[in-house]
């Protein structure tokens, strides 16, 4: 039905798992600037900032826990919703195979 839908979802997962929006990066930089570097909080913020940059540069997940993928799809009447669901599940599986999601973020029973 939509040959590029699965690829688009994989791309969406990759983007949201490996990069943060500019406003979040700005907020992180602001937090780091207000925290003394030698404090635990300052050190933690520095490590988090380094991890964010590293994840973006190598297309790896920002966090160990990439969360539970949740999708809200609004489709016009007549679109095969069963096929959309299958393509989304395929995209989640593919993103996991590529290392964009951690295997723990996949249903442990159905895989």
Q: For 44-69, what is the HEC assignment? A: HHHHHHHHHHHHHHHCCCCCCCCCCC
The band of 110, judged by pLDDT with boundaries at 50, 70 and 90, is confident
Which percentage of the chain shows pLDDT scores above 70? 91
Residue 99 and residue 55 share a domain: no
Residue 38 token pair:
């030698």
pLDDT of residue 107: 64
Higher pLDDT, 75 or 66: 75
Query: Would you state the pLDDT for residue 106?
Result: 56
Q: How many domains does the chain have?
A: 2
Side-chain half-sphere CA neighbours of 64 within 13 A: 1
More confident residue, 106 or 17: 17
Question: What whole-number distance in Å separates Cα of residue 93 and Cα of residue 36?
Answer: 42
Please state the pTM of the whole predicted model: 0.76
Same-domain pairing of 107 and 70: yes
Average of per-residue pLDDT across 23-48: 94
Let me know whether 5 and 25 are in one domain.
no
Q: Is the pLDDT of residue 57 over 70?
A: yes
Same domain, 111 and 66: yes
The reply to whether 87 and 105 lie within a common domain is yes
> How far, in Å, CA of 64 to CA of 111, rounded?
18
92 pLDDT band, cuts 50/70/90, is: very high
Do 71 and 107 have their domain in common?
yes
Helix (H) or strand (E) holding 107, with range, is: none
Average pLDDT over the chain, rounded to an integer: 88
Q: Bigger pLDDT: 68 or 15?
A: 15
Using the structure block, give the residue that is written with the tokens 């990759």. Answer: 14
**In whole angstroms, what is the distance from residue 81 CA to residue 70 CA?**
15
Which domain covers residue 97, as residue numbers? 1-17+62-111
């Amino acid at each position: 039905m939509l040959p590029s839908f699965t690829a688009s979802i994989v791309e969406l997962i990759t983007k949201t798992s490996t990069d943060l929006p500019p406003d979040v990066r700005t907020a992180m930089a602001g937090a780091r600037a207000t925290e003394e570097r030698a404090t635990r909080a300052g050190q933690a913020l520095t490590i988090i900032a380094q991890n964010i940059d590293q994840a973006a540069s190598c297309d790896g997940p920002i966090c160990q826990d990439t969360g539970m993928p949740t999708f809200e799809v609004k489709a016009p009447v007549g679109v095969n919703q069963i096929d959309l669901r299958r393509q989304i599940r395929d995209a989640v599986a593919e993103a996991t195979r590529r290392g964009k999601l951690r295997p723990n973020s996949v249903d442990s029973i159905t895989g």
